[in-house]
Every structure is written in C-alpha cells, then in structure tokens.
Amino acid sequence: MTPNKIRSIARTAQSIEISTAWTSQITSSTLCHESLQLLVALVRDRRPTRILELGGGVSTAGLAGELDALPATTLLSCDHSSHYLGLSREQVGSHPRVRFLHAPLELYRFAGKRFVTYGGGFDEAIAAGGPYDMVLVDGPPGYEFGREAALYRVAPYLSDVAIILLDDSAREPEQQAMHQWKRVWADRFWAVHFPQYKKGFSVIVLRDASRIGRPRFGVVNRLRSYRATRLSMASPNLKGDPA
C-alpha cells in the first residue's frame, strides 16, 4: 500500500453507491457519505481477513454488508456504550462473522501518560481475534476522552499489511493523537489525509507496528494527561448511554 494507491482508491470510491439504509443513519457524529464510500472501497480493494472497529454505528452496518462478498472475513465491533452497541447489533442482526464487544472506559497508562480508553476485557478480546488487517478508529468520543490510546492498545495485534482508518482526523484531538503517534513510530508512521470529508478522514500505515517505541512525552505532557483523565473519569458520559 502506497500513498498514491490510497489516493487512487479514494478517486474510485466516489462512484460507489451507498445504500439508503446506511445514508439515512448518517448524522453529525457518524462517518460522512464520502468516508463511507472510501471505507467500502478500501475493504473491496484490500479484502481484509479480520476487521476491528472501535466505535460502532452506521459503519458497522456498512462493514457487515461487505462480508457477503468476503467469505473469510470477520468483524469485531467494540463500543463503550452498551446502548449504542445494542443498536448496532439490531441493525446487523445475527451475522455469523460479526462479533460485538462491550468495552467500558477505564484508565490506561502508556509511557508515563494516562488515558481513558477501552477496558473490560478489551485486550483479551482483541488478542483472541487478531491479527487485524484493517482497524477503524471512530471511538471513544474524541473531544471528551481522546483516541490516542487506541493505537497503542491495538498495535501489537496488527498484521504486516494492516491499515488504520481514523475518522474525524481534521479535529484538534485527532490531530494531536496523530502527532503523538508520529513520535512513537517515527518514520515507520505515514498517513494520507482527506480533510474535505466533513471532520476529516485519514488512512494510516505503520511499519513494524508491534515494535512500539517508548517516547519521552515530557513532564508537561504527562501532567496534562493526568488532569484531562480526572475530568474524563468524572464525566456523566463515561458510560456513553443517553440520558
């Protein structure tokens, strides 16, 4: 996979027709129409064997719909909200190759920083289902909890040909996450960005993803992470369920 190949797939994606069953579910918090087209195009081109989705919704139904043409492919969809995970399960139905994981948010530490990210057996579940050829990062909610830790958690379970898809990548929290990922993986990290897709969408490639560096984030960076997570853990939205 090269940057030019990804851009070529993105051009082809513009002609893909998205089912009205999906487009009717598009909201300000879901993947936009163009991102869904690119997601489908990448699945059809890459034909991944194992897909991991962090944060379900309209993308879950879209990915499940592509599995009929990929008889060897499985999908693991994770969400911190039991409510929204249940909605995704209802939309997909009892597909034999789609699994759902409720992963409540909890504290996680990496290289001296502290995060609020998926827990509740998350590591064990993704380890059992990997290695993954495609990971869609659309959760947890970026502004309130951040998505930086997601890649640290899943990197050991990525295949050699894996691609990571980051939704909302034009927003400040996701921009900061990618900046930190670049520090961790250095020149083994590269990305192609599509900022014109609503709040942005990025396709990321990591070489030797499981070889995770241990960067020196600095005292200020670490202290900010502790202050942010204290607020996050006190959030009324920690469980992700509607009021």
Question: Residue 109: what residue type?
Answer: R
Q: Tokens 């050991």 label which residue?
A: 156
Q: Which domains does the chain have, with CATH numbers?
A: 3-233 (3.40.50.150)
Q: What does the pLDDT profile of the chain (243 residues) look like in tens digits?
A: 899 999 999 999 999 998 887 778 888 888 899 999 999 999 999 999 999 999 988 899 889 989 989 999 999 999 999 999 999 999 888 899 999 999 999 999 999 999 999 998 999 999 999 899 999 999 898 778 899 999 999 999 999 999 999 999 999 999 999 999 999 999 899 999 999 998 999 999 999 998 887 777 889 989 999 999 999 998 888 888 775
- Residue 183: closest CA among 151, 229, 138, 139: 151
